Chains A and B, each alone.
Chain A
Amino acid sequence: MAFTLYSLIQTAILCTNAVAVLHEERFLSKIGWGVDQGVGGFGDDPGVKAQVLNLIRSVRTVMRVPLIILNSACIVLLLLFG
Chain B
Amino acid sequence: MDLPHHGYRATKQRGRTAAPTDSVLFDDTSSAAPAMNNQAYYTPGYNMGGTSNDMQGGPGANNLFTDPMANAAMMYGSSLANQGKDMVNKEISRFMSVNKLKYFFAVDTRYVLKKLMILMFPYTHQDWEVRYHRDTPLTPRQDVNAPDLYIPTMAFITYILLAGMALGIQKRFSPEVLGLCASTALVWIIIEVLVMLLSLYLLTVHSDLSTFDLIAYSGYKYVGMIFTVLCGLLFGSDGYFVALAWSSCALMFFIVRSLKMKILPSLSSDSMGMGSSAKPQLRLYITVATAVFQPIIIYWLTSHLVR
A residues neighboring B (CB under 8 Å): 1-5, 7-8, 43-48, 51-52, 55
Question: Closest CB of chain B to A48's CB: distance in Å?
Answer: 6
User: In the assembled complex, which residues on chain A have CB atoms less than 8 Å from the CB atom of B188?
Assistant: 3
* Contact (Cβ within 8 A) A51 B183: no
Contact A4:B180 (CB < 8 A) given known A44-B274, A45-B278: yes
Q: Name the segment of B25-33, B42-50, B97-105, B198-206 touching the other chain.
A: B198-206
Q: Which residue of B lies closest to A43 (CB)?
A: B277
Task: Give residues of chain B (261-282) contacting chain A, Cβ–Cβ below 8 Å.
Answer: 274, 277-278, 282
* Contact (Cβ within 8 A) B202 A55: yes
Tell me the dominant secondary structure on chain B's binding face: helix
User: In the assembled complex, which residues on chain B have CB atoms less than 8 Å from the CB atom of A3?
Assistant: 183-184, 187-188
* Contact (Cβ within 8 A) A46 B187: no
* Contact (Cβ within 8 A) A8 B204: no
* A-B contact number at CB 8 A: 38
Partner of B202, one of A5, A8, A51: A51
Residue B186 CB within 8 A of the other chain = yes
Separation of A45 and B201 alpha carbons in the complex (Å): 11
Separation of A51 and B282 alpha carbons in the complex (Å): 15
Question: Closest CB of chain A to B275's CB: distance in Å?
Answer: 9
B residues neighboring A (CB under 8 Å): 180, 183-184, 186-188, 190-191, 201-204, 274, 277-278, 282, 300
Question: Closest CB of chain B to A36's CB: distance in Å?
Answer: 20
User: In the assembled complex, which residues on chain A have CB atoms less than 8 Å from the CB atom of B204?
Assistant: 45-46, 51
* Contact (Cβ within 8 A) B201 A51: yes
Contact A48:B201 (CB < 8 A) given known A3-B184, A3-B187, A8-B187: no
User: In the assembled complex, which residues on chain B have CB atoms less than 8 Å from the CB atom of A48?
Assistant: 202-203, 282
Question: Closest CB of chain A to B93's CB: distance in Å?
Answer: 23
* Contact (Cβ within 8 A) A2 B180: yes
User: In the assembled complex, which residues on chain B have CB atoms less than 8 Å from the CB atom of A5?
Assistant: 183, 186-187
Separation of A7 and B180 alpha carbons in the complex (Å): 12
User: In the assembled complex, which residues on chain B have CB atoms less than 8 Å from the CB atom of A46?
Assistant: 204
Question: Closest CB of chain A to B163's CB: distance in Å?
Answer: 12
Separation of A45 and B202 alpha carbons in the complex (Å): 10
Partner of A55, one of B201, B274, B277, B282: B201
Separation of A55 and B203 alpha carbons in the complex (Å): 12
Extra 11 A-B pairs, beta carbons < 8 Å, given A4-B183, A5-B183: A2-B184, A3-B187, A4-B184, A5-B187, A7-B187, A8-B190, A44-B274, A48-B282, A51-B202, A51-B204, A55-B202
Separation of A5 and B274 alpha carbons in the complex (Å): 41
Separation of A43 and B274 alpha carbons in the complex (Å): 10
User: In the assembled complex, which residues on chain B have CB atoms less than 8 Å from the CB atom of A44?
Assistant: 274, 277
Q: Which residue of B lies closest to A3 (CB)?
A: B187
User: In the assembled complex, which residues on chain A have CB atoms less than 8 Å from the CB atom of B282?
Assistant: 48
* Contact (Cβ within 8 A) B202 A52: yes
User: In the assembled complex, which residues on chain B have CB atoms less than 8 Å from the CB atom of A4?
Assistant: 180, 183-184, 187
Q: Which residue of B lies closest to A46 (CB)?
A: B204
User: In the assembled complex, which residues on chain A have CB atoms less than 8 Å from the CB atom of B274?
Assistant: 44-45
